[in-house]
Structure 1
């Protein structure tokens, strides 16, 4: 498979979402009302050329510098531009001229729609495997998003490695993509329709987790998952028994992570303050924090919250001075409420 094949599929073969032959890139209905209102302001042409998996929009985006990998017609870039505010900035990277032409044509339209004096967006042509060639420097972005695109990349490890390089310390990669329940045979990866439909380029989930850890993302966290149904007999016949899921993951650039969940007697309290998660903060599919409740956490979760943009919304109890063994979910912390660490998750030792 070559970049040119993917460019042709998304630039010429597909003219709109209705041309897709499977539901791998179809948007589920469960988009929050506040995001639906933003999407209602997106230009019709941009929406019609969108092929992603929902909308990748985590919390606490005000003022952030964001990069969208494989931005296509610009739908997510423009939605995120509303969420980061006039002081934030969102850059989209795509390699398909036809998609970039649509995105760039509506920059002023969206700035006006969101009440900005000038656009807070930019679109750059290039491949997501080589962001250095586009001039993106080390430690330069707060957040990287991607929407059903990484499966189309020819070198997934390069994509993840470059993302890690350009993220600021504590920054996050938050993205949706398609994954397979086994390694996809090489013969299927050469089929332009299977590849363009986000299927035969999908990583086996365990390989994705291993690659993420290899490049530096030591604690990958799944946010949600849904089973994909191809609903195309010809394509189903080619795929055989391979199963696919659409999943949202978050990868943080953090220091001093443990290889496994470890118990240091720590806990956190979510203080609320996030507009759309005022009562419960959802970190991933397994970890939710009710406002005001003291919750025991492993060292990696303490570091994730403490080193990221979410630190301001939490109180942290305990330090890394003493290790109690493997962290067991539901364990009780022995750290009293007054032992809140000044720098709760920055280092690996206090001794």
Structure 2
């Protein structure tokens, strides 16, 4: 159940209101339930493969897709890939042995690719509310385990609603990483989605997700439009709302990774949207232990993470090169120190061989994905990047 653009008929006056519904079993309005049902019907009944897309929903990643990820994608079964409708690339670094949860896993393409990257001692769980998509993903478990040379499956797919993962049997603090590929914007209750992600993450865990954001709050009348909701437009958060919700729930401030503009290639939709702008952006949020120490200092990347042997681009603001000392603020120090990255860096606190001048240089942090998308406009497209093709989108 991943984000696409392209309803066969533009029923522009259809209603779909946003409600705060955590699951179909909760006491929420019938309109909220209808949101789930409409999305399930579209992804389950209408779309058969990526060729059914009518406009450009797939957004080319704004940085090159590493070879190890491309290699893993080539091993995913063709039927699984052909039913992929994502809007970004949700592959964080340092994945070996990790437990990963995919919110809105659809046909399972991202899950199977990640199951290769976490290795036989890691595990990937996909949760999706669309029966047809879950059926496709389960169909190829044995195929991929044989393809990867695993003695037993390291993937599980469950039916469920991302607003209430407990109903699907997903326990507290049970995952290292949560991912989502353009699904949260389709939910009628985004706070519940992020709150559930926080609940199931271990201390030091992160949610790494791609989604659609607006440059300002979407007007209520647009939220009532079924087509625009299905187009991943009217359900989009403004990027500033994400920061407020993350703080409210307890996550560290979102860290922007990539951002690209979404182009709406339909005159009727353009007229309705007006001056609103939308981007597909990837953010990473961390669940930090409450007792973690806040320090400024220098960190040195040890090198060797798969696909990032010489350097790791942690977000749009920080790239760490092997063996090179980098000044970081208190927040990033806490993230690196308490997460799965802790063994990948050397830490030099302020006062242990570092001068205050070295460690306290203030860096301008880019938070606005529209600013980043503007910066990317005039850059050449990265090589070896594909979006929608015979094998689906990446």
1:32 to 66, 91, 105: 66
Cα drift, residue 103 of structure 1: 0.7
Structure 1 CA distance for aligned equivalents of residues 36 and 362 of structure 2: 44
1:271 to 285, 298, 302: 302
Structure 2 CA distance for aligned equivalents of residues 39 and 75 of structure 1: 8
Give the match for residue 130 of structure 2. Answer: 96
Q: Say yes or no: does 1:316 pair with 2:350.
A: no
Give the match for residue 184 of structure 1. Answer: 218
Q: 1:57 to 1:198 in 2, by over 3 A?
A: same
Task: Give secondary structure in 1 for the equivalent of 2:106.
Answer: coil
Alignment size in residue pairs: 325
Q: Say yes or no: does 1:239 pair with 2:239.
A: no
Give the match for residue 37 of structure 2. Answer: 4
Can you give the 5+ residue segments of structure 1 that lack an aligned partner in the other structure? 332-351
Q: TM-score, normalised by structure 1?
A: 0.87
Alignment of 1:168-317 (within 5 A): 168-256=202-290, 264-317=295-348
Structure 2 CA distance for aligned equivalents of residues 32 and 54 of structure 1: 14
Task: Give secondary structure in 2 for the equivalent of 1:54.
Answer: coil
RCO higher in structure (CA 8 A, sep ≥6)? 2
Structure 2 CA distance for aligned equivalents of residues 235 and 24 of structure 1: 14
Q: 1:157 to 1:327 in 2, by over 3 A?
A: farther
Judge conservation of contact 2:59–2:280 (CA < 8 Å) in 1.
no
CA RMSD of aligned residues (A): 2.2
Give the match for residue 25 of structure 2. Answer: none
Alignment of 1:12-91 (within 5 A): 12-28=45-61, 30-91=64-125
Listed one character per residue, the Cα deviations across residues 288-324 of structure 1 (whole Å, up to 9, x for unaligned) are: 1111111111111111100011110111111699xx8
Structure 2 CA distance for aligned equivalents of residues 190 and 241 of structure 1: 18
Structure 1 CA distance for aligned equivalents of residues 254 and 187 of structure 2: 19
Judge conservation of contact 2:88–2:282 (CA < 8 Å) in 1.
no
Q: 1:128 to 1:71 in 2, by over 3 A?
A: same
Cα drift, residue 209 of structure 1: 1.1
Q: TM-score, normalised by structure 2?
A: 0.78
Give the match for residue 334 of structure 1. Answer: none
Single out whichever of 210-219 and 156-165 deviates more from structure 2: 210-219
Cα drift, residue 82 of structure 1: 0.2
Cα drift, residue 327 of structure 1: 5.1
Cα drift, residue 28 of structure 1: 4.1
Q: Say yes or no: does 1:144 pair with 2:175.
A: no
Task: Give secondary structure in 2 for the equivalent of 1:98.
Answer: helix
Alignment of 1:317-332 (within 5 A): 317-318=348-349, 328-329=361-362
Task: Give secondary structure in 1 for the equivalent of 2:218.
Answer: coil
Structure 2 CA distance for aligned equivalents of residues 123 and 28 of structure 1: 26
Give the match for residue 155 of structure 1. Answer: 189
Structure 2 CA distance for aligned equivalents of residues 256 and 86 of structure 1: 32
